Amino acid sequence: MSDLLDTWLWPVLAIAGLAVITLITRTFFMIPERELPMPDWLRRGLKYAPLAALAAVIAPEIAMSGGALIRTLADARLPAVLLAGGYYFWRRGILGTIVVGMAVYLPLHIGLGW
């Protein structure tokens, strides 16, 4: 009985604890009745947080392979990023950017094995 209790009790407690922590941290700013005072420099900086987080996730995926920097230009990600970025600055469309990037990446990666 103790083994059965150990196999499901700890994962359930961990999930419940993470759910409580998530709920508290996400509702923390909704609890006060009035707006929290923030300095202007912090308010301006928070506007760039989503862009910085996106760059922090995407940049290593583009520039690294297997935990090391890409050492060759024969990598399908590089031309795909360049052409997709060019399309975005030309047309300012997100869907077209994704389509152009994948249209370049897939033939190079699957067809040529880059």
H helix and E strand count, the chain: 5, 2
| Bridge partners, 65 (sequence order) | 68
Contact between 80 and 98 under an 8 Å Cβ cutoff? The reply is no
pLDDT at position 28, please?
80
Could you give the 3-state DSSP secondary structure of residue 112? coil
For the segment 66-89, the average pLDDT, to the nearest whole number, is 92
- Please state the pTM of the whole predicted model: 0.59
> Of 30-39, 72-81, 88-97, 99-108, which range is least confident?
30-39
Residue 1, pLDDT > 60, answer no
CA distance 19 to 30: 17
In this prediction, residue 5 has a pLDDT band, given cuts at 50, 70 and 90, of low
pLDDT at position 113, please?
87
Q: In whole angstroms, what separates CA 49 from the centre of its chain?
A: 12
